[in-house]
Amino acid sequence: MSAEPWPEGVGKRILESVDSTNAEAARVAASLRGPEWILARRQTAGRGRRGRGWTDPAGNFAATLVMHPQEPPEHLALRSFVAALALQDALIAATGRPPGFALKWPNDVLLNGGKLAGILLETIPTPGALHLAVGIGVNLRHAPAPEPGAVAPVDLMSATGVALDPEDLLNLLAPAFARWEGRLQTYGFEPLRQAFLQRAARLGQRITARTVSETHDGTFDGIDARGALILTTARGRITVPAADVFFDENEARPCS
């Protein structure tokens, strides 16, 4: 396992313990002169999507990239695809095992069908600027208790036998993120959309997408030019910009 050089102009901050790397990002964003990765060896109050908690025992990976993208706010969500693609690249580089990893829309990385990692994007308003926190959590050594109806969590060491240090993963992740971010900036979202679909779990199979107010059952037919989920339902084809996705366990698992 050999990491590419650390990306030029990107900072690195290693903390022994913090409440949340995204919370730390919000505290320091206004003082930063450029993008910076914040890694915590222990996170005591991590959080996931929709305000849910994120269990993070010692030995797991918890990091946030603080960015200041110069683009309309509606484009910021595309960083979840940058992060997912980069994280899968980093994990493959660390383990040497491309089979088994897959991406679950919109922002989870799966290993052998179980949830290995999650990504949380949060905007950070500062005077005269809008920053973005890209939070990433990976179960390197410990998997949390499963939640009813959700994809069962897994950890990297139990599934692969690879004991990966969080800072070693960060040294692989940061260059991979910079590489995919460069593609987004140069070529737009389409190359990332195509790459995501090549790695997507359950493409062409039935899934359930739950928003705050609605539940949609249908066939996962892709993602559109804005990153929204495309579902073919009994009522026709729809797009879902944001939702929690659940799998039909009667369907085959292509990523196992």
Ranges under pLDDT 50 in the chain: 50, 250-256
Cβ of 188: how many Cβ atoms within 10 Å?
A: 13
110 token code pair:
């799966």
Cα–Cα–Cα angle for 7, 116, 246, rounded to 5 degrees: 120
Residue 252: the pLDDT is 42
Q: In terms of CATH architecture, what is 11-198?
A: 2-Layer Sandwich (3.30)
Task: Delimit the domains of the chain by residue range.
Answer: 11-198, 202-247
How high is the pLDDT of residue 151?
86
What is the helix, strand, coil percentage profile of the chain, to 5?
30, 30, 40
Structure confidence by residue, pLDDT tens digits, 71-124: 888 899 999 999 999 999 999 999 998 889 999 998 899 999 999 999 999 999
Report if pTM > 0.75: yes
Q: Kindly state the tokens that stand for 103.
A: 């991406």
What is the CATH T-level fold of the domain 202-247, as seen in this structure? SH3 type barrels. (2.30.30)
Q: What is the pLDDT of residue 256?
A: 30
Specify the pLDDT at position 253: 43
Amino acid at site 115: K
Instruction: Say if residues 140 and 61 touch (Cβ distance below 8 Å).
Output: yes
